[in-house]
Amino acid sequence: MLYFVLKAALSGLIIAVVSEVARRSAAFGALVASLPLISILAVIWLWRDTGDKIRIASQLETTLWYVLPSLPMFLVIPALLRSGVDFWPALAAGCILTFVLYLITTWILARFGVQL
């Protein structure tokens, strides 16, 4: 249980640092937020927990396929905000779009024999 708390605390600390950096500098905050910190932490924890190289390789490949359909969210939300849509509806629209694109991506990849 202590190990789980340590992982959660470290992961949460990184998110808190990114949000503080973003308050001071939008560009630097965006740069830090764009780093695949969660993915890196996940594979470090997975390596420590399992030592399974094949599982880690699979995790990273699958992450790539899920990152791609999430990218339009980073265009849609700012466009909605700039056009006068309030924050929460813009965020919800971006999340819904991403979810739909996840489903489409999973369906397309399955047709090519790629199972996520």
pTM here is: 0.77
Give the residue numbers spanning the domain of 105. Answer: 51-116
Q: What is the pLDDT of residue 41?
A: 86
Angstrom distance (rounded) from CA 59 to CA 71: 19
Q: Do the beta carbons of residue 16 and residue 8 sit within 8 Å? A: no
> 71 and 26 share a domain?
no
82-107: pLDDT as tens digits: 999 999 999 999 999 999 999 999 99
Longest CA–CA span in the chain (Å) reads 49
- One-letter amino acid for residue 71 of the chain: L
- As a whole-number percent, the residues of the chain with pLDDT over 90 amount to 62
Angstrom distance (rounded) from CA 47 to CA 41: 10
Residue 58 lies in a domain: yes
> 60 and 27 share a domain?
no
Statement: residue 27 has pLDDT above 90: no
In the chain, how many H helices and how many E strands?
6, 0
